[in-house]
Amino acid sequence: MSPQAGYRSCAHCGRRFLQRTGPGRKKDYCNPTCRRRAQRQRDGATPAPQTMDSCSWGRVVSESVHVLAARLVAAEHQHLPIDVLLEHATNLGREVGYYTAAAVHDARADGASWEAVAAAAGVSVETARDRWGEQKVKRLLTRRAQEQCPCHSHQNRARRHVVAEAVPPEPEATAGASSAGGGSHKLASALSYLQRKSGMTITDTAQQADLSPSYVSRVLAGDRVPSWAVVHMLATIFGGQASELRMLWESTQGGAQPPRQTVKGAAQRLQDAFRGLYLAAFCPDLEDVTIEGQVSAATVAEVLRGNVVPDWETTGALVAKLGGHPGDFRRLWEEFHYAFLASQVHFPPDGLSRWVLPGSDPDARGSSA
């Protein structure tokens, strides 16, 4: 398949990136780090191994660590057998070791001394050199690439449980959960948008997430509601922010309410919910989200950035404009409002007289005895 118009492959790492259009010299590298490393390679430095398809080795491996951790969490929540849990734990531990080697390589490539590496790792300089020398890291990451090759992983796949296939039964309809079907559709829309934006095929996604392609397809179509661990894993694979999908996923569950939030935490949850709804609407132009005489494009931008928490009237109008259910956001907005009000009042150490509360009648104090 030919690459999409406007994209090209980095001359150093091979990663596809968006090429600038218009006059001027075209870019050969995806970022300055790749350009510097290519220059060092041309100047006679040891070339980077071809086992890693990334400018930052640590970043790629850390994303894999995130995915493996999500698999372990999903397996634990589904009470899978101990051999499966320990297999997930072993895979995660091995990948953490690879990440450490990759992170040291990146630090060394950016100019960190062996003394600094040794101090950060809590080992001697000699141990750091021996453990993470350039040739040893190359061999480690080559082995990692071989382990991830389908011909090596296929032997274990028969005994590996596909966590997400054990889909829990859909929650019964309860008061306040009437929009669960709409929440499922919004969650699927947001994940589908991230998948298309990432360029990942369903087959590639399924392989990286260790799920069946048919299950991934049903999730993206809104026919299945996955566990939060699977949502988190898919968002990570697609390069998105999983927290932005949390409210969309919660709206499909009808579960217990989360504990009280701090002002900062409640504001962050509200922003993430707005961002998730914006993704589910396929990120329309801000001008298309404006409400004449009430909400400007600048206000929409500030809300999505988390710089402004609008009043409830504006919040409800924005949610409806983005195709969501204002009732789903009412709880989040009230949590923020409560946290904000609570942060403004210090409770008197000697207690608070009920007669100073708004609406109280001080003259009735004696008659209540």
Dist CA 234 CA 198 (whole Å): 11
> CATH number, domain at 197?
1.10.260.40
Domain hosting 144: range is 57-163
With a cut of 60, say whether residue 17 has pLDDT above it: yes
Bigger pLDDT: 13 vs 227:
227
Q: Are residues 272 and 239 in the same domain?
A: no
Q: Report if residue 197 sits inside a domain.
A: yes
**Mean pLDDT of the region 86-109:** 91
pLDDT of residue 48: 39
pLDDT of residue 124: 93
Dist CA 295 CA 183 (whole Å): 24
Is the pTM value of this prediction over 0.95?
no
Both tokens assigned to 155: 């032997």
Both tokens assigned to 177: 């959960």
Q: Are residues 270 and 336 in the same domain?
A: yes
Which H/E stretch holds residue 103?
helix 82-109
Looking at residue 149, the DSSP 8-state letter turns out to be S
Dist CA 34 CA 110 (whole Å): 11
Both tokens assigned to 214: 């048919």
Q: What is the chain's mean pLDDT, rounded?
A: 75
pLDDT of residue 53: 38
Dist CA 220 CA 214 (whole Å): 10
Q: Are residues 79 and 138 in the same domain?
A: yes
CB 288 within 8 A of CB 257: no
Dist CA 232 CA 66 (whole Å): 9
CB 30 within 8 A of CB 15: yes
Both tokens assigned to 37: 């490393």
Q: Report if residue 51 sits inside a domain.
A: no
**Least confident among 164-173, 261-270, 283-292, 307-316:** 164-173
Q: Report pLDDT digits (tens) over 336-353.
A: 888 888 776 665 666 656
Q: Report if residue 367 sits inside a domain.
A: no
pLDDT of residue 172: 33
Q: Are residues 63 and 158 in the same domain?
A: yes
> CATH number, domain at 303?
1.10.260
Q: Are residues 283 and 242 in the same domain?
A: no
Q: Per the structure, how many domains does the chain have?
A: 4
pLDDT of residue 347: 58
Split at pLDDT 50, 70, 90, the class of 153 is very low
Dist CA 67 CA 163 (whole Å): 13
Q: Are residues 80 and 157 in the same domain?
A: yes
Q: Report pLDDT digits (tens) over 117-138.
A: 999 999 999 999 999 988 888 8
pLDDT of residue 215: 87
Q: Are residues 38 and 89 in the same domain?
A: no
User: For the chain, give me the number of helices (H) and strands (E)?
Assistant: 16, 2
Q: Report if residue 21 sits inside a domain.
A: yes
With a cut of 90, say whether residue 113 has pLDDT above it: yes
Start-to-end C-alpha separation, the chain: 84
Q: Are residues 88 and 141 in the same domain?
A: yes
Both tokens assigned to 127: 């141990």
pLDDT of residue 178: 38
**Least confident among 7-16, 177-186, 219-228:** 177-186
Split at pLDDT 50, 70, 90, the class of 260 is low
pLDDT of residue 117: 93
With a cut of 60, say whether residue 162 has pLDDT above it: no
**Mean pLDDT of the region 33-60:** 57
Q: Report if residue 354 sits inside a domain.
A: no
Q: Are residues 129 and 69 in the same domain?
A: yes
Split at pLDDT 50, 70, 90, the class of 159 is very low
Choose one of 198, 216, 246: the last residue of a domain: 246
Both tokens assigned to 356: 């100073």
Q: Report pLDDT digits (tens) over 310-325.
A: 888 889 889 888 888 8
3-class SS at 16?
strand
Dist CA 206 CA 237 (whole Å): 10
Bigger pLDDT: 77 vs 277:
277
